[in-house]
Amino acid sequence: MKIGEVSGHASVPVETIRYYEKIGLLLKPDRDASDYRVYGNAHLNRLLFIKRCRNLDMTQDEIRELIRLSENPEADCHEVDALLARHLIHVRDRLSELANLETALQQLQQACSKTGTVEQCGIMGGLSSELGGLSDKDTDQRNHVPGTHKPGSH
């Protein structure tokens, strides 16, 4: 199969497939005489595995670890279970953070009088005052939700 076929079967963009190859999640395929990538069912299966993991919001490192563990199918599955347990803790933490985010947004929205100018807007005033109170340690620049996927918590 060519990359476009694999992309179609997996519903994954070609650019994503190339990225997964670049970072080592997907093995680089052989090339044919015309120097086109030639993918097999193993590539498609791995790509679908990665896609399922990403749909569960797993990090690249978590996926890489699961792939490593899958290469020893006779091993005890306690490491897989431990990885999933850590990920579940992360998801629960994220849900809590999202609930806090929802509360903060509701409070900001209640500050709106729905009349007046943007300059008089309670939401804009609330955003300006909250932004001034944030410190670098309270924000994680890689995420739109602070605290998600912190190093060591995946």
pLDDT in tens, 97-121: 999 999 988 888 887 767 778 777 7
Residue 11 lies in a domain: yes
Domain that holds residue 115: 78-138
Are 82 and 134 members of one domain?
Answer: yes
Are 133 and 82 members of one domain?
Answer: yes
pLDDT in tens, 12-40: 999 999 999 999 999 999 999 999 999 99
Residue 154 lies in a domain: no
Residue 119 lies in a domain: yes
CATH number at residue 41: 1.10.1660.10
Are 129 and 83 members of one domain?
Answer: yes
pTM, to two decimals: 0.72
DSSP code for 118: G
Are 96 and 44 members of one domain?
Answer: no
Residue 112 lies in a domain: yes
Residue 93 lies in a domain: yes
Distance of alpha carbon 65 from alpha carbon 85, whole angstroms: 14
Neighbours of 109 (CB within 10 A): 11
Are 84 and 130 members of one domain?
Answer: yes
Between helices 78-110 and 60-70, what is the axis angle to 10°?
Answer: 160
Residue 65 lies in a domain: no
Number of independent structural domains in the chain: 2
Confidence of residue 141 (pLDDT cuts 50, 70, 90): very low
Are 93 and 50 members of one domain?
Answer: no
Are 82 and 126 members of one domain?
Answer: yes
Are 39 and 85 members of one domain?
Answer: no
Are 83 and 34 members of one domain?
Answer: no
Three-state DSSP class for residue 69: helix
Mean pLDDT of 68-83: 93
Residue 7 lies in a domain: yes
Residues 140/154, Cβ–Cβ less than 8 Å: no
Query: 130 CB contacts (<8 Å, ≥6 apart)?
Result: 104
Whether 83 has a pLDDT exceeding 90, the answer reads: yes
| Angle at CA of residue 20, ends 19 and 25, nearest 5° | 155
Whether 3 has a pLDDT exceeding 90, the answer reads: yes
Are 82 and 133 members of one domain?
Answer: yes
Residues 38/81, Cβ–Cβ less than 8 Å: no
Residue 50 lies in a domain: yes
Query: 71 CB contacts (<8 Å, ≥6 apart)?
Result: none
